[in-house]
C-alpha cells in the first residue's frame, strides 16, 4: 500500500469508530478493537489494520493512541468537523 493510502485507511477507521461511539481514549480503543474483531469497517480485521499502519496491540498502543487523539481532535474542532456535519 502507498503511504498516503495507509494513512487514509487508518484515519477512516478511527473516524468510523468515533462516529459509532463518541468517547475518549481508552473507551475508543475498546470500540476500535470491537470493530476490528468483528470486521465491521470494510471487512478489515486486526491484521489488515496493522498492515495499514494501525497497530492495536500493546506494542503499537502509544502510536495508535497519539493518532486517535489527533484524529478525534480534528473531528471536534477542525476540517473533519465540517465534513462530518454535512
Q: Which residue has the cell 474542532?
A: 77
Q: Indicate the domain borders of the chain.
A: 3-85
pLDDT, position 86: 52
pLDDT, position 78: 75
**With a cut of 50, which residues of the chain have pLDDT below it?**
1-3, 5-6
Cell for 56?
492495536
pLDDT, position 48: 93
d(CA 9, CA 15): 10
pLDDT, position 22: 92
Q: What is the DSSP letter of 49?
A: H
Q: Are 84 and 75 in contact (CB under 8 A)?
A: yes
Three-state SS at 56: coil
d(CA 79, CA 67): 16
Amino acid at each position: 500500500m502507498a503511504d498516503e493510502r495507509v494513512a487514509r485507511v487508518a484515519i477512516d477507521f478511527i473516524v468510523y469508530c468515533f462516529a459509532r461511539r463518541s468517547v475518549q481514549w481508552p473507551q475508543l480503543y475498546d470500540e476500535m478493537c470491537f470493530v476490528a474483531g468483528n470486521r465491521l469497517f470494510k471487512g478489515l480485521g486486526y491484521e489488515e489494520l496493522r498492515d495499514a499502519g494501525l497497530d492495536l496491540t500493546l506494542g503499537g498502543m502509544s502510536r495508535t493512541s497519539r493518532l486517535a487523539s489527533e484524529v478525534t481532535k480534528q473531528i471536534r474542532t477542525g476540517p473533519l468537523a465540517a465534513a462530518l456535519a454535512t
